[in-house]
Amino acid sequence: MTSFNCPQLPDTVRTNGATPNPWWSNAVVYQIYPRSFQDTNGDGIGDLKGITSRLDYLADLGVDVLWLSPVYKSPQDDNGYDISDYQSIDPLFGTLEDMDELLAEAHKRGLKVVMDLVVNHTSDEHAWFQASRDKDDPHADWYWWRPAKPGHEPGTPGAEPNQWGSYFGGSAWEYDPKRGEYFFHQYSKKQPDLNWENPEVRKAVYKMMNWWMDRGIDGFRMDVITQISKVVDANGKLPGEDGSLIADDPVGPEGYSSPFPFCSDGPRVDEFLAEMRREVFEGREGFMNVGEAPGVTPERNEHITDPANGELDMMFQFNHVGIDQSGSKWDTVPFKVTNLRRELAEQQEAVANVGWASLFFCNHDQPRVVSRWGDDSTEESRAASAKAFALLLHMHRGTPYVYQGEELGMTNAHFTKLDQYRDLEALNAYRQRVEEAKVQSPESMMDALALIGRDNARTPMQWDDSTFAGFTAEDAPTEPWVSVNPNHTEVNAARQVDDPESVFAFYQRLIALRHNNPVVAAGTWKPVDAGDEHVYAFTRELNGTTLLTMVNLSGDRVAVPAESAALVASGVSEPQIVISTRGASHAVVSLANGELSAWEGVVVEL
């Protein structure tokens, strides 16, 4: 088992309900998007050797776990989330020997490594899928194959088995002339869904996972894992399929119905996850098992992450990152503090008694929070709002996830032209919504992409102010695969690592606080001033110690709301300031005046 730097919480402190407390109870995870982290060979794409070269930076930051987005062999249709060989490293990123070196060097520094795993679907170039194209092959039922709708010529418009659309645009069914049938894909047409109803599929997946665990990794973050179980009728037919006993939902404005209600948190999810736990993780120590959980409610999170049920350690839920969207992802609405508080409160309260929460604002699928909900218009407001959202997130109960560059306050790319984008989802959405269905104007779609498009999180890591931000050499033969953010000359690691007032230094303090303060790691959570439209406040309490967190999520100076003001009415001294975005002395003055400056956040021990 990997040695670990973080002190373990005593068993007198309840975390997720397990005894002893899991090692990750007071840990912080750092997500790396390998193709954008560090390029060492000049091909414009990050690689495993690049990650290894930056391990000291990550150790200095203080994080405990590295989560790597997929580095398996892949055609890269969806940047590696379309896997063609689970037990090979894509040459873009290096070799298996490079992966072994990364594991060894990370473990030397007390850092654990968790790999991203995509087993809801594979690439259409995976050997399993290629074999399944033959109806007589043993793999024939490893994917969701269906014949054309009766009375229609296969491969022609309207012949699809039902009216489901892909989340990446177009039909969710693709016709394969070799087999003479359609296969189902929730995402890209190069990402066919595996048929988890088939026990042979599950056996093959578990065998592969055990191979990686035996090789020395410390667990998995599993992509869209709650979509592995589909709703079918008594005869195995999908909703809307000819003869199905289950009706499909109505068709939407883009011309398709959505598979989401029938493919998210399906009827056998608990069974499959429990089986996976038994077959892969039971008997092992020191691992972490995390699931991305589309369609899972906070209440279901409690069940799935309850250690007594033997499923997942924690899950990613998404209600809170949908608060600025209405209907379609691309119909954006203004950010409201009350909406964020409501969604996070549901997640916190659901695991108050048992289970655990994942805490995040940013990842490879989400834009930069400082641009999305903060203010990146000036250097001062960028740094201030980056610290404010960091304080807010890290003071909640659960395991925080830092996405690469978030610890620097990296911003959205602010692209203005469609040809600057590389993301399949963005390009397909523009084509379908603007050019085909004509349900959105080009201007509003470009605004939506600039605000919430996934490429905003995928621009190269900003290490320094050189031409390519230190991501690749200035004289590299190939430019980065996606443009470097022009503001890398001001926002970069080299400028921040030795600056005690930087966003980076603030993250170091937040991470150390979680490591060393059991109240932050495991204390109860209770909202305060739940209706305030500017200040997000809550308490954390454990064994008689109470911490009050107050964060002004606006660019205006605002009054401390009534309930919070009453809690600090007797006055606050500097020793009571646990952490503050603007420093303890500034926080004391602010609270004495009954106000919080723009983007000011403070934690007070009451």
Q: Are 409 and 383 in contact (CB under 8 A)?
A: yes
Q: Which one, of 295, 300, 174, lies nearest residue 229 by Cα?
A: 295
78, 254, 275, 292: the active-site residue = 292
Please tell me the distance from the alpha carbon of residue 377 to that of residue 358, in angstroms, as a whole number: 29
82, 223, 248, 532: the active-site residue = 223
Query: By three-state DSSP, how is residue 373 classified?
Result: coil
Q: Which are the contacts of 158, defined by CB distance < 8 A and separation ≥ 6?
A: 149, 152
Please tell me the distance from the alpha carbon of residue 14 to that of residue 399, in angstroms, as a whole number: 14
Query: By three-state DSSP, how is residue 539 classified?
Result: strand
Pairing of strands 328-332, 325-326: antiparallel
Cis-peptide, bond into residue 20, ω within 30° of zero: yes
- CA atoms within 13 Å, Cβ hemisphere of 95: 3
CA–centroid distance for 248 within its chain? 29
Burial of 569 (0-12, 13-18, 19+ CB in 10 A): exposed
The Cα-based distances of 290 to 301, 317, 503 in angstroms read 12, 11, 27
- CA atoms within 13 Å, Cβ hemisphere of 468: 25
Q: Are 190 and 124 in contact (CB under 8 A)?
A: yes
Is residue 136 part of the annotated active site? The answer reads no
Strand partners, 525: 540
DSSP string, 409-432: T-------SGGG---HHHHHHHII
Q: Which are the contacts of 193, defined by CB distance < 8 A and separation ≥ 6?
A: 120, 121, 143, 144, 183, 184, 185, 186, 227, 230, 263
Sign of CA pseudo-dihedral 441, 442, 444, 445? positive
Q: Are 191 and 78 in contact (CB under 8 A)?
A: yes
Please tell me the distance from the alpha carbon of residue 254 to that of residue 328, in angstroms, as a whole number: 10
Pairing of strands 173-176, 219-222: unpaired
Burial of 332 (0-12, 13-18, 19+ CB in 10 A): middle
Please tell me the distance from the alpha carbon of residue 53 to that of residue 326, in angstroms, as a whole number: 42
Q: If you ran DSSP here, which 8-state letter would residue 434 be given?
A: I
Please tell me the distance from the alpha carbon of residue 216 to that of residue 210, in angstroms, as a whole number: 10
Is residue 407 part of the annotated active site? The answer reads no
Q: Are 549 and 605 in contact (CB under 8 A)?
A: no
Please tell me the distance from the alpha carbon of residue 185 to that of residue 167, in angstroms, as a whole number: 9
Q: Are 546 and 403 in contact (CB under 8 A)?
A: no
What's the angle, vertex CA 28, arms to CA 25 and CA 32, rounded to 5?
Answer: 140
Q: Which residue numbers are catalytic?
A: 223, 292
